[in-house]
Structure 1
Amino acid sequence: MPTYDYRIEATGDVFEVKHTMALTPRNWGELCELANLNPQDIPVDSAVTKLLTTAGVVKSTTLKNPEAPPCMSGGGCPSGGCGI
């Protein structure tokens, strides 16, 4: 299940929440319900913003084979599809 970061516009606090891609909470109350969070003293109608993160990005230098597969460098994959 993907992890998303949300900023509460009323306070600037950021929370990391796991949920399916199909869900998009629009306010703090919906986010609390979705992630089983305590709303604390923050108004439940406070807007939340999904933040863009780089989670899941892998640098090629950390791989055993840092070369890009043929399909990513202009060639074709030997089996017809490399899954990228």
Structure 2
Amino acid sequence: MPTYDYRCDTNGRVLEVSHRMSDRLSTWGELCARTGQETGDTPAEAPVHRLATGGNIISSTSRGSGAAPLPACASGNCCQGGMCGLN
């Protein structure tokens, strides 16, 4: 299941939760119930918003256990933005 970050405007907290893509959480109470957190002093009906955050990319092709490893970046570091062409 995909993982999403939700932010509560009332308390400013961000919680991470896994759920189906079709699910939408809209209140702090729903979010806390899914994550096992206490609502605390924040009203359960306080609105939450799903954040546009990066996530894991799942490829439709997979590399089996016998596949050759990908070559390392020539710089020895991760090239931000795929500058080395190995992304």
TM-score tier by shorter-chain length is 0.5 to 0.7
C-alpha distance in structure 1 between counterparts of 2:48 and 2:54, whole Å: 19
**Runs of 4+ in structure 1 over 3 Å off:** 65-68
Same amino acid, percent of matched pairs: 36
Question: In the TM superposition, what is the alpha-carbon distance from 1:67 to its structure 2 partner?
Answer: 6.5
Post-superposition offset of 1:12: 1.2
Q: Tell me how far apart the structure 2 counterparts of residues 55 and 35 of structure 1 sit (CA, whole Å).
A: 18
The CA deviation string for residues 9-56 of structure 1, in whole angstroms up to 9 with x for no partner, is 101111111111121011101112222221111110111010011122
Residue 53 of structure 1 corresponds to 53
Higher helix share: 1
CA distance in 2, matches of 1:13, 1:35: 13
Aligned residue pairs, count? 64
TM superposition score normalised by structure 1 = 0.63
TM-score normalized by the length of structure 2: 0.61
Structure 1 unaligned blocks of 5 or more: 69-84
